Amino acid sequence: MIAELGHLLAFLALGAAVGQSVLGLTSGGEAARRLAVAGAIFAALSLLTLIISFVRLDFSVELVAAHSHSQKPLLYRIAGAWGNHEGSMLLWCVIMAGYGALAALTMREGKLRDRALGVQGLLTVGSFLYLLFVSSPFTRLADPPFDGAGLNPLLQDPAVALHPPFLYLGYVGMSFVFSLAAAGLINGEIDRDWARRTRPWALGAWSCLTIGIALGAIWAYYELGWGGWWFWDPVENASFMPWLVAAALVHSLIVTEKRGGMASWTVFLAVLAFCLSLLGTFLVRSGVLTSVHAFAVDPARGTILLIGLGLAGGAALALFAWRAPQLKAGPEFDPVSREGALVLNNLFLSVSAALVLVGTVTPMVLQWMGEAKLIAPEAASMSIGEPYFQLTLAPMVAFLLLFMPLAQAAPWRKAEMTPLLKWLLPSAIIAVLAALVALAMGGWGVFLGFGVLVGVWVIAGVAQDILRRAGAGGWRRILKLPLTVWGMAIAHIGMGVFVIGATVETAARTEQTFPLAQGQSAEMAGWSFEFQGVKIVDGPNYVATRADILATHDGRTELLQPEQRSYPVSEMGTTEVAIRKTLGGDVYVALGDQLRDQDGVWRIRIAHHPLIDWVFGGAALIAVGGFMSLAARLRRRSAANAEAPAAPTPEPAKPEAGVGASA
Amino acid sequence: MRKRSQRLWFIGAAGVLMAGAVTLGVIGLGGAVAFFQSPSDIASKGVETFKQNVRVGGLIEVGSQTHGEDGKLLQFRITDCKNTVPVVFDGIPPDMVVEGKGVVAEGKFDVHGTLVATRVLAKHDENYMPKEAYDSLKRAAESGGEQAMADGTMTCGDGSAT
């Protein structure tokens, strides 16, 4: 019964979304609000029924039979509910309806809220139609199997269990930003107030997307067994493009909010961010390219997703073309100013997104042209790899970071370049020294030197900016700086930390494969590794071949135990690496295969990943900075509410945010 | 600065940046772009014609995996059931690189006609093989090979890749 209940609840949620869109776009704002909340509750309960089916191992549900198994631990039974296409689409719908409900509960009454709820309702209707009629998770099997097929063992991992929810909080979060943009265009009001109310949504979605991408990278790093955290794989790029555009949006919204400028560009980015999120979903779900992420896919679903993308994007762009010429231009500014710097930020970020897009879709377009016999098949099947992305994006990131400290310190409207540069001289000196040290230690590489240079420049520049803002007040004043300043500072420091980590890790990582028999040892990166043989260990739903390796460094010895796991249910294996964290990076040991012609000799791969934690730590700081900026807005908003609880005024000087602290 | 000139300036700068970056990218493309070839394509055109990076797809021939003299390299042959390509890979491949299963290897040919792979891809799913591996076998099948096709996957005639 429970699957049928879930199915019914999903239909109720669809009905609520239909009502929400009609009422929101016409006149019934209050009713649309209630329907948005009701729809979200229906959707959440529907997902709950699916999770219950997964936990109770109800194999009469096709999805459970295909993706779960009685031996699976509880966490992965729950995560299994969204570790597949249909379940993840239900999660998508729930989050989309959830954003609508959050807006309904927290946004100030008015035309913007009602229209945004209406547009969000339309998007929710589309998502539910796709879920219910193309990829229903509630299909029953007439002949239930005795046991399920099991979740892909590579996905039985905590990081990747949380990866889809965060990624979707980001992707789908862009849907509400899109709705606000469309609502603003319908109302013809893309102004400072619109930007102030849109920015928290953009910040929240962007920060969640950052976490989602980072979780995926962490998972790839330790689970795939060869220590890479980013492959420029089309599916990774698919999440990176909306991230870049959303990063640009978060910054251009500042100009629109504070100065009323860049309004049409900002609204264009808001539309684009969601379109690229949809494109990302299309790339993952349609299987158009060979990729490390390509799971079981269905081209027909891909086509429908592409049509949805075309409808949403086309309608929004048409709306944009109609309204954008009427938008008011902001006040003028000098090219050397805070505005000018933020324009540069947007320039580099959007060009980066365009470059990633070109590198990602070119092979797909060629493939399609080959299939349509427009070009020869030999020319149609190709891939674009790492060197393209590194060479094209590195200069963008370098420029972006070079301007960052200047942008933070420049005043609005008009700034003087020379005093700014003079003031930042200490940061420049520190950065050059750090780059020289890195080059001396890690070999003379252009990427390495430049990465450390701009990374340290940003961190030192942000520190200088914080000291400047504190003025003579000293430490006490520093702690009292506004949360927005801290949010910006931490996100920017995170960017610097990330760039240093990424360039050092990429340039200075070392790895080697050693064939070792019991008792033999290998030396690498100042460590010695003694192989003590393997033993067979039983896990909850797998059998592991576990190696004992004694690792010695500076006279101290410890045991590392990399494993090869074999999952009988899905006839698949995974590699569980052993990672020893050190201050300077990770020592990463993977157990390979046994030599075919020499019994007892195993191939052991040892790698050193310097500063790898800076990569993930930098990403975490970026997300924390984003959330802090969001929290700053919520606090100001609740302060403003406390001042005038009865009459929330649309007066522009009063800080207002779209998300209330009461939620 | 006037609004219009600001916009022109922005578009101009974006154009210049894009052009510069794409130029850089095209310089980098020599090593970045890899065209897909099936083992039969390589046999018919001759190994020596492939100087650039290539991607070769097919099945890992059963019984072809070895580890070389010093045990450091992984060696195997990719087959489309008609022709084979020898591959070496320095490192430990992904878990799904198994004899008889689909694989895509990317790299350059050495003077002996062996593909020195820099990347080895296999699909993370037991039922599906990489599209390019599937395409290799399909092409060979269309020109008279004996392959067995199933939903998204394929094997050589007798069910094993020999």
Tell me the chain A residues in contact with residue B27 when contact means C-beta distances shorter than 8 Å: 391
- Secondary structure in 3-state letters for A250-280: HHHHHHHHHHCCCHHHHHHHHHHHHHHHHHH
Domain identity same for B29 and B14:
yes
Chains A and B: how many Cβ contacts under 8 Å? Answer: 160
- Provide the domain limits for residue B20: 1-33
Query: In this predicted structure, what is the pLDDT of residue A480?
Result: 84
B16 lies within 8 A of chain A by CB:
no
Contact A107, A658 (CB under 8 A): yes
Mind telling me how many Å the CA of B157 is from chain A's nearest CA?
22
Domain identity same for B94 and B145:
yes
Using the predicted structure, report yes or no on whether residue B57 has a pLDDT greater than 90.
Answer: no
Domain identity same for B28 and B103:
no
* Tokens 């547009």, located at residue: A119
Under-70 pLDDT residues of chain A: 225-227, 286-299, 378, 444, 570-571, 640-663
How far CA A648 is from CA of A632, B39, B101, in Å, comes to 19, 71, 65
Host H or E run for residue A588? strand A585-594
Question: ipTM of this model?
Answer: 0.77
Please judge whether A391 and B72 are an interchain contact, meaning their C-beta atoms are less than 8 angstroms apart: no
Q: Tell which phi-psi region holds residue A519, choosing left (phi > 0), alpha (psi between -120 and 50) or beta.
A: left
Query: In this predicted structure, what is the pLDDT of residue A645?
Result: 44
Host H or E run for residue A94? helix A85-106
Strands B115-121 and B84-90: parallel
Which is nearest to A199 in space by CA: A490, A648, A633? A633
B41-48: long-range contacts, CB 8 A cutoff, minimum separation 24: B41/A378, B41/B139, B42/B83, B42/B85, B43/B82, B43/B83, B47/B109, B47/B113, B48/B113
Domain identity same for B17 and B85:
no
Q: Summarize pLDDT for A134-182 with one digit per residue, the tens.
A: 888 998 888 888 787 777 777 778 887 888 899 999 999 999 999 999 9
What 8-state DSSP symbol labels residue B52?
S
Please provide residue A346's backbone torsions phi and psi, each rounded to the nearest 5 degrees.
-65, -35
- Which tokens belong to A22? 């009609």
The reply to whether B162 falls in a domain is no
Tell me the chain B residues in contact with residue A511 when contact means C-beta distances shorter than 8 Å: 91
Domain identity same for B49 and B98:
yes
**What is the spatial distance between Cα A211 and Cα A202, in angstroms, rounded to a whole number?**
14
- Which tokens belong to A629? 């900026």
Sketch out chain A's domains with CATH numbers.
1-156 (1.20.120), 162-387+403-411 (no CATH), 510-613 (2.60.98)
- Which tokens belong to A638? 């609740």
Query: In this predicted structure, what is the pLDDT of residue A646?
Result: 43
Q: Summarize pLDDT for A404-445 with one digit per residue, the tens.
A: 999 888 888 888 888 889 999 999 999 999 999 988 887 768
Domain identity same for B4 and B74:
no
Closest-approach residue (CA) in chain A for B73: A513
- Which tokens belong to A604? 């052991």
Domain identity same for B100 and B20:
no
A289 lies within 8 A of chain B by CB:
yes
Domain identity same for B26 and B83:
no
Nearest-10 crossing angle of helices A386-409, B3-32 = 150
Q: Could you please report the per-residue DSSP string of A157-185? A: SHHHHHHHHHHHHHHHHHHHHHHHHHHHH
Domain identity same for B43 and B95:
yes
The reply to whether B161 falls in a domain is no
Q: Summarize pLDDT for A615-633 with one digit per residue, the tens.
A: 999 999 999 999 999 999 8
- Closest partner residue to A571 (CB to CB) among B25, B35, B126 is B126
Nearest-10 crossing angle of helices A158-187, A263-286 = 140
- Which tokens belong to A598? 């020499």
Domain identity same for B73 and B6:
no
**What is the spatial distance between Cα A480 and Cα A473, in angstroms, rounded to a whole number?**
10
Contact B154, B57 (CB under 8 A): no
Tell me the chain A residues in contact with residue B135 when contact means C-beta distances shorter than 8 Å: 381
Tell me the chain A residues in contact with residue B127 when contact means C-beta distances shorter than 8 Å: 296
Sign, CA torsion A465/A470/A472/A476: negative
**What is the spatial distance between Cα A567 and Cα B125, in angstroms, rounded to a whole number?**
13
Helices (H), B33-125: 39-45
Label residue B4 by pLDDT band (50, 70, 90). low
B125 lies within 8 A of chain A by CB:
yes
Domain identity same for B128 and B76:
yes
The reply to whether B49 falls in a domain is yes
What 8-state DSSP symbol labels residue A416?
-
Query: In this predicted structure, what is the pLDDT of residue A66?
Result: 84
Mind telling me how many Å the CA of B125 is from chain A's nearest CA?
6
How far CA A158 is from CA of A73, A258, A579, in Å, comes to 12, 41, 16
Please judge whether A294 and B92 are an interchain contact, meaning their C-beta atoms are less than 8 angstroms apart: no
Please judge whether B24 and A595 are an interchain contact, meaning their C-beta atoms are less than 8 angstroms apart: no
Q: Which residue has the higher pLDDT, B3 or A16?
A: A16
Q: Which residue has the higher pLDDT, A456 or B48?
A: A456
Query: In this predicted structure, what is the pLDDT of residue B123?
Result: 62
Using the predicted structure, report yes or no on whether residue B29 has a pLDDT greater than 70.
Answer: no
**What is the spatial distance between Cα A186 and Cα A593, in angstroms, rounded to a whole number?**
62
Least confident of A122-131, A349-358, B86-95, B130-139: B130-139
A378 lies within 8 A of chain B by CB:
yes
Query: In this predicted structure, what is the pLDDT of residue B134?
Result: 73
A336 lies within 8 A of chain B by CB:
no
Query: In this predicted structure, what is the pLDDT of residue A296?
Result: 44
Mind telling me how many Å the CA of B68 is from chain A's nearest CA?
9
If one counts the domains in chain B, the total is: 2
Domain identity same for B10 and B44:
no
Dihedral angle, C-alpha A32, A37, A38, A41, nearest 10 °: 160
